[in-house]
Amino acid sequence: MLHVIVLAGGSGTRLWPVSRAAVPKHLLPLGPGGVPLLRATIDRVLPLQPAAVHIVTVAAQAEACRDVGVAAGLPADCVIAEPLARGTGPALGLAVRWIAESDPDAVICSVHADAHIGDAEGYRAALTAAAGWARATDGLVTVGLTPTYPSAGLGYIALGPALGTGEWGLPAFTAAGFVEKPPPALAEQFVANRSHLWNLGLFAWTAAAFARELQAAAPAVDAALAEVVAKRAGGDEASAARLYAEIANVAVDPLLLEKTSRLTVVQAGFPWSDLGSWADLLEARREDGEGDGAGNVVSGDGLVVDSERCLVDSRGGRLVAVVGAEGLVVVDTGDAVLVVPADRVQGVRSVVERLRALGRDELL
């Protein structure tokens, strides 16, 4: 039976001042029609007719994520909550073990809650293929995206021997390694040689295969997770939280995927963005048909005059006007205003770091 895990973690600091610890990116109304990204993700995977959709998030966000899940038609127990954030490795280990308690034969797909997907059918086709290869190989599977440009800010998966398309119609390969955020020249080489795919963090495996590979790659983490689940099953949440806090904070890639010899990568080509910056959001909204003829996108009470390719997001209860600008991002939340050139939006993270150093927690 197919289960879908939706990872809903992090705070998306590069979308400050809208995205904050209390209202992280996946809970913001940035999906189609203004729904939260988490809701858009749930709606996107439900046509796969999974046995269950599980939202995995940190305890502090569990209630808000549960509300989104219930509004999408999920049951009230749709959330698997980490006591505190420990990275995608322990989070997925916890979720898979929890699912396996009731369905040891489960086939599981894991997706992120905060991406923009331009082709929902292509996305579902890739997940279906990944689940199929997970069953066929009794191993781990990841979905890789054909790069559309040489990004130095994304991770890459090296392609090994081709495995064909199977019955699912998408090329599959043995994965030959990972490269995280390569230098620009190396990224250009990857794209030119067609030797690597973008790593999207979309995975599939059987519960049994994940358990076997985790035990081999990280036996201490596996043993700790077994204790956490046992404590939770017995109703001892306090002990479970203490045990979970002792587990290292690590992503699933270095914890498990980079160590296994049984990793398949399915090659997909749907339009995708991790919405990692205001520039990404501007581009995604333009692709969705929003904006005017000059490429400007306005949300809330905003106005642009004689301007091109600007994003104005006004939710502070006042008019925001931009005149004679090109490639500018202006965001007003009432208690904070961000003004930044679209080609400098990666620097927003430094604003968050500066505010944290200044003790301005009320703005974080």
pLDDT (tens digit per residue) in 299-321: 999 999 999 999 999 999 999 99
Domain boundary among 273, 302, 319: 273
Domain ranges, residue 125: 2-273
Q: 101 and 32 in one domain?
A: yes
Reduced to 3 states, what is the DSSP secondary structure of residue 236?
coil
Say whether both 252 and 352 belong to one domain: no
Report how far apart, in Å, the C-alpha atoms of 216 and of each of 103, 176, 230 are: 22, 19, 20
In a shared domain, residues 253 and 126: yes
Give the rounded distance of the alpha carbon of 61 from its chain centre: 16
Q: What are phi and psi of 190, to 5 degrees?
A: -60, -45
Integer Cα distance of 302 and 294 in angstroms? 15
The owner of tokens 């890739």 is 126
Residues 72 and 181 in one domain: yes
> What integer is the mean pLDDT of 328-352?
95
Taking the C-alpha atoms of residue 266 and residue 256, their distance in angstroms, rounded to an integer, is: 18
Let me know whether 195 and 341 are in one domain.
Answer: no
Q: Tell me, what's the pLDDT at 311? A: 97
C-alpha R_g of the chain: 21
Question: pLDDT at position 272, please?
Answer: 93
Asked whether residue 257 falls in the same domain as residue 337, the answer is no
234 and 346 fall within a common domain: no
The answer to whether residues 178 and 29 belong to one domain is yes
- Do 90 and 152 lie in one domain? The reply is yes
Can you give the pTM of this predicted structure? 0.93
Does residue 116 sit in the same domain as residue 245? yes
Are 221 and 352 within one domain? no
309 & 235 share domain: no
pLDDT band at 269 (very low <50, low <70, confident <90, very high): very high
Domain tally for the chain?
2
Q: Is 273 helix (H, G, I), strand (E, B) or coil?
A: strand
- CATH number for the domain harbouring residue 262: 3.90.550.10
3-state secondary structure of 92: helix
* Tens of pLDDT, residues 4-31: 999 998 776 889 999 988 889 999 988 8
32/39 Cα distance (integer angstroms): 10
